[in-house]
Amino acid sequence: MKPRVLVVDDKQDLAEGVALVLSEITGDVRVAHCAQLAIEQLTQRPADLVFSDVRMPGMDGVSLLSTIQARWPRTRVVLLTAFGTVSAAVDAMKLGAFHYLLKPFDNDELLLIARRAWESLQEKDELARLRGALEHGQSFHGIMARAPRMLAVLETVRKAA
């Protein structure tokens, strides 16, 4: 499975450039040129990763981050800015940004952050799946099982115990 990515930037050429670079890790990259359009696109089809400029007309990237965290908490958000400060980066991370990337950035750095964000999301999903398996009786004294036959064996052992 590959990540669904949304790039949000009011500068069309930059948004398209970031999308082109990110297409190296996925074929599902969409572009929105304002935060409101991004929210509309996310409502129709959520993204796994969002790369958003901080300074945009209307709703800025930090407000978009807050909206995404509230409505799509699973989504990883990377903020992009040419006007970064340490305090702004710390504030963004406190709000839930996965990373805060300063423009101009290297394409390899962008891809590295995208891969890390995707791996982080996959690890979170796997942890949730394993916790769900534990809660729904798909384990017995540390023995994990998914195969229907093995689940039946564990159920028999559980009854016998």
pLDDT of residue 48: 97
User: Any idea which residue has 């990515």 for tokens?
Assistant: 5
pTM of the complete model: 0.82
Mark residue 84 as left, alpha or beta (left: phi above 0; alpha: psi -120 to 50; beta: remaining): beta
Q: What is the pLDDT of residues 50-59, one digit of tens each?
A: 999 999 999 9
pLDDT of residue 7: 98
6-20, 72-86, 124-138: range with lowest mean pLDDT = 124-138
Name the residue among 20, 70, 19, 92 with its Cα closest to residue 49.
Answer: 19
Is the confidence at residue 146, as pLDDT, over 90?
no
DSSP tag of 7: E
pLDDT value at residue 83: 83
Separation CA 31–CA 12 (nearest Å): 9
